[in-house]
Amino acid sequence: MSQTRDELCWMTISEAAPLIKRRELSPVELTQAHLDRADAVDDRVKAFVTRIDDKAMAAARAAESEIASGHYRGPLHGIPVSLKDFYDTAGVRTTAMSKIFADRVPDEDCTVAASLKGAGTVLLGKVSMSEFGLRGHPTSLFSIPNNPWNLNRSCGQSSSGSAASLAAGVSMGSFGSDSGGSLRNPAHSVGIVGLKPTFGRVSRYGVIPCSHSMDTTGPMARSVADIAALLQATAGHDPHDPYSSKEPVPDYSANLNDGIKGLRIGVPRDYFFNKDGGADPETLDLAEQAIDVLEGLGAQVKEVTIPSVADVRASQGVIMISEAFAYHRQFLRDRHDEYGPVKFRFMLGALYTAEDYLQAQLLRSRICREVAEVFEQVDIIATPSMPRPASVQGDMGHPFSSLGGLNFLVVFNATGHPAISVPCGFTGEGMPVGLQLAARPFQEAALLTAANAYQQSTDWHTKHPVL
């Protein structure tokens, strides 16, 4: 082996996979390198909640043995990954970062974990998150992760550990979940790639719910090509998930390098690029520069409008909290002392009426129609991922401060469209920010082609923090 430990840990999946296939890179060495790096840096980053070093090394040895005997399973075989502590893993504690589930050890893998296992990945452990998937206040169990680019900054919410594990080089791929931006926000905050697939594209079976009509599971990685590989292994119909789609699964890597000449990109500047609307101007400028890069690659950029987008939070928030309350109701009655401050947000769900919930769904329907109309004119919608870079750690505001305010992500939770955040630069303070691209339902392949074209023309995703 010629690579140093850190060189191994900064490889992408698509760089490591051919080496593993040719037996020029050992899954055992690759896994050990990640565990060693986690030993060295995770006391500061705090990405992991539960490490399973022995099981990981056993899986790596099994992968190595299989490959040596000619049974190579594909591009994820022997690749070390992590999973948000929302995903049930057989025999491995799954806590949702709450005392409510502090000792919960599932008997069965969730569908995503089973699919990743079937693809030959090596699970390193479970990674941190905001308690039960809502805004990152102190949880009732464990601490929340620190941003590898600046340990005094947050990793965003709620798939923070997944993002931190990738930005810190202690895993090569991860899965987060996204009901209100929860994997794109952390991807933006730490400078990695996060894909919220179309609602129904990837199974949620065995993932602790937040909002049943918006919960979406999706991959996180350091490159778009890696996202394609992780999506390929997990997309498809699952009869255990009532919202799972039977839409056929295409080859997500086949057209990654097709380029974007003639692609029609819509930019809703009136809301997403309004410098008087409270967003950080530097963050908006970086996203605007990224759109210029896409135009330079041959895309046709035009301005579009989503009339009700500014108020989508009123709809999405009522729906998400009402549905979350339905899951948490009994715990909130009997064991609310075991929650962190997030319990107060769940309790808001007790205040909404059926009329409020349906009014929110009607507004959601209107926004769905508006976004569908935009997609009659363009192939992709481009926006900044977030209005500003990651906040100072602990500066999360009041638990209720997120009821309103500027939010660039939730519109695609309300509509179910696929959306990706790709790194598009750094602020003057050295914090990464992301560009959000969204596509029509089940057009993840087109989305990945556009994101990959951007990534092939820039080097933001190749930069790593010094830890």
Partner 1 sequence: MAEHPLPSHDELDARLKGAGIQLSNEELEFFRGAYPEFLDQLKLLYSYDVTGEAYPFDVALFQEPQ
C-beta of 68 vs 358, nearer to partner 1: 358
Q: How far is the CB of 360 from partner 1 (least distance, A)?
A: 6
CB atoms near residue 219 (< 10 Å):
30
Close Cβ partners of 97 (under 8 Å, ≥ 6 residues apart): 49, 85, 128, 129, 130, 131, 132, 139, 140, 141, 142
Q: Please give the DSSP secondary-structure letter assigned to residue 77.
A: T
Answer whether 155's CB lies under 8 Å from 63's CB. Answer: no
Q: How far is the CB of 103 from partner 1 (least distance, A)?
A: 24
117 is catalytic: no
Question: How many angstroms separate the CA atoms of 27 and 57, rounded?
Answer: 9
**β-pairing, 122-127 with 48-51?**
antiparallel
Our CB check for partner 1 shows the closer of 372 and 392 to be: 372
Name the token pair of 347. Answer: 């309790």
| Cα separation, 58 vs 52, whole angstroms | 10
* Minimum separation from the CB atom of position 130 to partner 1 (A): 18
By beta-carbon proximity to partner 1, the closer residue of 34 and 440 is 440
Q: CB 338 → partner 1: shortest distance, Å?
A: 14
Active-site position among 14, 158, 189, 203: 158
> What is the nearest approach in angstroms of partner 1 to the Cβ of residue 396?
15
Q: What minimum distance in Å lies between the beta carbon of 253 and partner 1?
A: 21
Neighbours of 190 (CB within 10 A): 31
In this structure, is the dihedral angle defined by the CA atoms of residues 26, 10, 167 and 453, taken in order, positive or negative?
Answer: negative
State both tokens at 399: 């638990």
Residue 64's alpha-carbon distances to 60, 70, 116, in angstroms, are: 6, 10, 16
Query: In angstroms, what CA-CA distances link 370 with 10, 134, 216, 304, 367?
Result: 41, 27, 21, 11, 5
Q: How far is the CB of 61 from partner 1 (least distance, A)?
A: 41
Binding site for partner 1 (CB under 8 A): 198-200, 213, 243, 245-248, 308, 311, 314-315, 317-318, 329, 332-333, 336, 344, 347-348, 350-351, 356, 358-366, 368-369, 372, 398-401, 403-404, 414-416, 441
Residue 372 CB, nearest approach to partner 1 (Å): 5
Cis-peptide, bond into residue 165, ω within 30° of zero: no
158 catalytic? Reply is yes
Residue 140 phi/psi, 5-degree rounding, is -85, 0
The set of long-range contacts for 59-63, using a CB threshold of 8 Å and a minimum separation of 24, is: 59/31, 59/121, 59/122, 59/123, 60/27, 60/28, 60/30, 60/31, 60/32, 60/122, 61/27, 61/28, 63/27, 63/120, 63/122
Q: Looking at 182, 189, 211, 315, which residue is catalytic?
A: 182
Name the residue nearer to partner 1 (CB basis): 10 or 243: 243
Are 168 and 410 contacting, i.e. CB atoms less than 8 angstroms apart? no
Cα–Cα dist 164/154, whole Å: 10
Closer by beta carbon to partner 1, 308 or else 436: 308
| 113 φ, ψ (degrees, to nearest 5) | -60, -40
Quick one: 337 or 459, whose CB is closer to partner 1?
337
Shortest approach of partner 1 to residue 59 CB, angstroms? Answer: 35
402 is catalytic: no
Residue closest to 194 by CA, chosen among 170, 168, 160, 169: 160
In 402-447, the DSSP E strands lie at 419-426, 432-439
Active-site residue (options: 84, 126, 196, 343): 84
For residues 281 and 404, which CB has a smaller minimum distance to partner 1 in the complex? 404
Cα-trace Rg, the chain: 21
Nearer to partner 1, 86 or 375 (CB): 375
The pair of structure tokens assigned to 106 is 């599932």
Nearer to partner 1, 158 or 308 (CB): 308
Active site residues: 84, 158, 182
